[in-house]
Amino acid sequence: MTTVQGTLSRSLIGGSWTDGHGEMMHVRSGWSGTPITDIATCTEADVRHAVQVAEAAQPAWAALALVDRVEILRELNRVIAANTEEIAQMITLETGKTISETREEILEYSAPAYQKAAEEALRHRGLSLPSTQERSNNKRLVLTHRPVGVVAVISPYNFPTDIASIGIAHALAVGNTVVWKPSEWTPVSCAMVAALFAEAGVPDGVLNLIQGKGETGAALVRDPGVDAIFFTGSTATGERIAREAGLKKTLLELGGDGPQIVLADADVEAAVDGAMLGCFYLAGQVCTSAERILVHESVHDEFVSLLSARMATLRVGDPTDEATEMGPLCNEGTLARVRAHVQDARDRGAEVRQFGEEDGLFYPPTLLVGVTPDMEIARAETFGPVAPVIKVASTEEAVAIANSSELGLTASVYTRDLATAWRVGEALQHGTVNINESTNYWDQLAPFGGTGKSGNARELSQWFFGTFTETKLLNFDLNDQPRGDRRVMRQA
Ligand code: NAD
């Protein structure tokens, strides 16, 4: 791989590729050690400039006929999909995601996000309300939506182009402009996506890309021209943003601590399939990963034995190889946290079974048996390829442990009994509960988000629009008949 040069190592502001005025960011592939490029990061002044450019471009973008905006978004779907291979290879280099995972990210999620947002905008309807304040037939109350203005999109490393794309697509679809700060671990793949906007016919200044680390993101959050913030990342960063954002609208999608509950009557093989996907897809670096597996004592040994056998066959290795099922972790910080959680569990008495050796950022699939709810691995997000099994004696105990976390993103429960599934589904305090399905299952047109410290709203399809639009009420008086008695107002 040759070093990336030119535009992909720069920021994109107002249609021009430009260098920031901050410190240099040395981008290299953590897992292979390959240098990728050096990027001059954006300072507070660079961020100000990008936001001003987005503000200036917004009225014309919002004034474009909806069908024209929609056509441009559909074109984005086509051009991003056509560049799948190049972008997927870059994400794999930057993060260590396997090539099959990164191709899936572009073709299944990132590119179609623009098409889906376009279709959603076509169906974003208003409302006509009855008049209740006045005894007349003169009033017409119409609820409409208008774009908020400039949306900041701040994205994480694990689905770098997908998560950013769903936010950008829906923000643009309803007439906002965007300033996007991608993860410092994935600046080049994100620049590749940003570079395609001009090709799809997006006017200059409608999407702006600013490169940098946390300080650049913080400057964007503080910027007075930003009207709404779509952030996806860790709970710690999300809480910082919530404090800084003041009265700006925020949509915060944060960490998860997904419980997978396996009850006494479960289809144990299906539950093992769910745990494999939940614990080892993307080496466990998914917000909806199965972070705690709560297994009823009557099926515990069978579950552990089947899971162990499956883990032994998992193909771990070079993420560019199509046969590889699990690649490395993205960075040292993630590796350090995974190691610390496993060590804490070992120190407190859990049995640790590892299928392979640690090698750089490659962490072996790890099964922990005898985990208890007080261990760090059961209390905080680990974000690595670990299956921590907690034995439980009853459904009630499983639900109580599942609900004891501050994080409430996605949960799953395996049972053959409909009433139990329903009751447990209702009792779990999570944003999504999957029945007889992995924690990692989600639907792109269904509301997604968490409770507690997992987030503050719902995203995807129409649920984005609560953050990306302002609701406006237009009250008309037709003024062609005598004014009515405003009884209700006088009483108030
Ligand atoms: P992170 O919080 O370290 O970084 C996310 C982004 O925030 C990056 O672009 C980073 O530069 C930026 N940032 C850092 N400090 C900032 C600040 N003070 N102000 C503004 N921006 C700042 O997260 P990560 O390690 O990239 O991603 C992993 C985390 O994201 C996990 O916790 C995972 O669960 C979570 N996540 C959640 C969802 C979801 O939908 N709930 C989806 C994917 C990932």
SS3 category, 131: coil
- Shortest-distance atom of ligand 1 to CA 287: 34
- Output DSSP code: residue 246: T
119-172 pLDDT tens trace: 999 999 999 999 998 888 999 999 999 999 999 999 999 999 999 999 999 999
Number of helices (H), then strands (E), in the chain: 17, 21
Where helices occur in 366-416 by DSSP H, the ranges are: 376-379, 395-402
- 32 pLDDT more than 60: yes
- 331 pLDDT more than 70: yes
- Shortest-distance atom of ligand 1 to CA 255: 34
Separation of 91 CA from ligand 1 center, angstroms?
Answer: 16
Intervals of CATH 3.40.309.10 along the chain: 259-435
Q: CA 117 to CA 480: how far, in whole Å?
A: 41
Query: Which residues does ligand 1 sit against, CB inside 6 Å?
Result: 154-159, 163, 181, 183-184, 213-214, 217-218, 221, 232-234, 237, 240-241, 253-256, 287, 381, 383, 409, 450, 455
In the residue annotation, 190 being an active-site residue is answered as: no
By DSSP bridging, strand 16-18 and strand 11-13 are antiparallel
Predicted pLDDT at 3:
46
Which of 120, 184, 253, 437 is labelled catalytic? 253
Ligand 1 atom 36: the closest Cα is on which residue? 233
Q: Which CATH class is domain 7-254+455-473?
A: alpha beta
pLDDT grade for 7, boundaries at 50, 70 and 90: confident
Q: Is domain 259-435 given the CATH code 3.40.309.10 in the classification?
A: yes
Stretch among 1-15, 18-32, 151-165, 358-372 having the lowest mean pLDDT: 1-15
Side by side, the strands of the sheet bearing 366-369 are 351-354, 366-369, 386-392, 292-296, 259-262, 410-414, 432-435
Backbone angles phi, psi at 123, to 5 degrees: -110, 15
390-426 pLDDT tens trace: 999 999 999 999 999 999 999 999 999 999 999 999 9
Q: CA 444 to CA 461: how far, in whole Å?
A: 7
Separation of 232 CA from ligand 1 center, angstroms?
Answer: 5
Q: How many other C-beta atoms can be found within 10 angstroms of the C-beta atom of residue 247? A: 5
Separation of 203 CA from ligand 1 center, angstroms?
Answer: 28
Separation of 395 CA from ligand 1 center, angstroms?
Answer: 33
192-242 pLDDT tens trace: 999 999 999 999 999 999 999 999 999 999 999 999 999 999 999 999 999
CA neighbor of 168 nearest in space, from 151, 189, 187: 151
In the residue annotation, 253 being an active-site residue is answered as: yes
